[in-house]
Structure 1
Amino acid sequence: MYSEEDHSYHSHYSEENIYKLAYKYSNQTFEVKESFVVFISNENKHVPMWKQRLSSNDKEPVLWDYHVIYVIPNEDGEAHVIDLDSTLGYRVPFAKYMKETFHPDAPLANREHDQLFRVVPADLFLDYFASDRSHMVSSYPNYKQKPPAWPTIKGHKAETEMNVEKYISMEEQEAEYYGKVMTLRDFMEMGMGQQ
């Protein structure tokens, strides 16, 4: 089993962090086939998430345009979440992560911040994901956030150099490898069903 120290990490590139993490887990067939990469966003690209490293305190959320996490079964079959930007720790039980990160029992005052979840089987994500990082360029060659030192990513079945926006978009996509979009309630039911 891996620990947090075993993974590459670069702030503001959660999709690449999770791709690299899922790739490391991919040699553990039972885990990658039952694991999911989850993009969190909405049509306004303003999603509040609590217990994030970038927050000034635990009572204030970070407003991400999008964020990416990994949902993986534990040895006992319980779903766990790996969020490399979370202050909750590594491989957090799904129910705890959802409660403390999204506060599902306290509806958001602004419905424009309702979180949506694109749930993608990890093996399909590894095959089809591609990022040339152009979504992080403010004006060439300047990046909004400094890019990672590792090379850009292109899954071996990806048909383009860049499809990040298809994953970030919370509109349904035709290709099954983009996964399924869920509401907070639906995503919680799915995750709790894995336990």
Structure 2
Amino acid sequence: MSNDANIMLFPKITECSYVSCYCEENVWKLCEQVKKTRPAELSKCYAVFVSNEGRTVPLWRQKAGRGDDKVVIWDYHVFFMHNPTPTRCLIFDLDTTLPFPTYFHKYVTETFRSDLALRPEHHRFFRVIPAEQYLAEFSSDRRHMRRPDGTWIKPPPPYPPIQSSATNTHNLDDFICTQSGKGPGIVYSLSQFVYTFFKLPNAQLNNTQN
């Protein structure tokens, strides 16, 4: 493995900012941490939003999941991705039961499995946003976590809401949206996401072709 792939962005999961049910902010904080501690790596990092039009996405190996497979259906989920080399892509998911981090192929295989066994309305789509852009553009006033009477569905993080702009205090829906050409970053289907970010090393590729 190359020196780039050996870089430990986050030495321990316990050193990362984490609040349950605020995955978009947890990932924003991971991006912020990289910018402060490993700025040269920031261009190789991404925030990845997973959702679909109906906002019903099944994920396995989640701490909040049920049964032996720890499956849960979220309206959306967000994880952090580090792509230091063309053949080494790492996923950092603070809500998974898998290791932190996990190599791309293992994470995708165990977390998303396949769309073939799912109804079309449950297919997953992935909005991939460069970390620098995510830090610069994301805003949330946390309105989606309040009940109609103003009380919290889940307690908010202890720090102030993330505000990239005084005029746009909440643009979370733009990041969750799975329509191509709308919102930041690029939207991929599951197969497109795998094809784009999973590259076998040459030696392994040659073995699969023999």
TM-score (structure 2 length as normaliser):
0.84
Per the alignment, do residues 76 and 30 of structure 1 end up closer, same or farther by CA in structure 2, a change over 3 Å counting?
farther
* Residue of 72, 79, 100 corresponding to 2:89: 79
Contact 1:130/1:158 (8 A) holds in 2: no
Determine whether 1:5 maps to 2:14: yes
Alignment of 1:121-136 (within 5 A): 121-136=130-145
Contact 2:50/2:57 (8 A) holds in 1: yes
| 1:56 Cα deviation from its structure 2 partner | 2.1
| Residue equivalent to 1:57 | 67
| Residue equivalent to 2:3 | none
Contact 2:87/2:198 (8 A) holds in 1: no
| Residue equivalent to 1:187 | 193
Q: Distance in 1 between matches of 2:177 and 2:190?
A: 16
| Residue equivalent to 1:23 | 32
Deviating 4+ runs (over 6 angstroms): none
Contact 1:38/1:68 (8 A) holds in 2: yes
Q: Distance in 2 between matches of 1:123 and 1:133?
A: 21
| 1:93 Cα deviation from its structure 2 partner | 0.3
| 2:179 aligned counterpart, secondary structure | coil
Match for 1:185: what amino acid?
S
Determine whether 1:141 maps to 2:150: yes
| Residue equivalent to 2:207 | none
TM-score (structure 1 length as normaliser):
0.90
What are the Cα deviations for residues 156-193 of structure 1, in whole angstroms up to 9, with x where unaligned?
Answer: x6751110010011123556xx1011100011111114
Contact 1:50/1:58 (8 A) holds in 2: no
| 1:59 Cα deviation from its structure 2 partner | 2.3
Q: Which has the larger radius of gyration?
A: 2
| 1:142 aligned counterpart, secondary structure | coil
Contact 2:60/2:69 (8 A) holds in 1: yes
| 1:143 aligned counterpart, secondary structure | coil
| Residue equivalent to 2:79 | 69
Match for 1:143: what amino acid?
W
| 1:30 Cα deviation from its structure 2 partner | 2.9
Alignment of 1:147-186 (within 5 A): 147-155=156-164, 159-174=167-182, 178-186=184-192
| Residue equivalent to 1:94 | 104
Q: Distance in 2 between matches of 1:188 and 1:4?
A: 25
Per the alignment, do residues 74 and 91 of structure 1 end up closer, same or farther by CA in structure 2, a change over 3 Å counting?
farther
Q: Distance in 2 between matches of 1:65 and 1:97?
A: 19
Alignment of 1:25-40 (within 5 A): 25-27=34-36, 28-40=38-50
| Residue equivalent to 1:120 | 129
| 1:35 Cα deviation from its structure 2 partner | 1.0
What are the Cα deviations for residues 93-125 of structure 1, in whole angstroms up to 9, with x where unaligned?
Answer: 000000000112x62332111000001011100
Contact 1:128/1:158 (8 A) holds in 2: no
Q: Distance in 2 between matches of 1:194 and 1:21?
A: 27
Quote the sequence identity (%).
33
Aligned length: 191
Contact 1:115/1:184 (8 A) holds in 2: yes
Q: Distance in 2 between matches of 1:66 and 1:188?
A: 19
| 1:136 Cα deviation from its structure 2 partner | 1.5
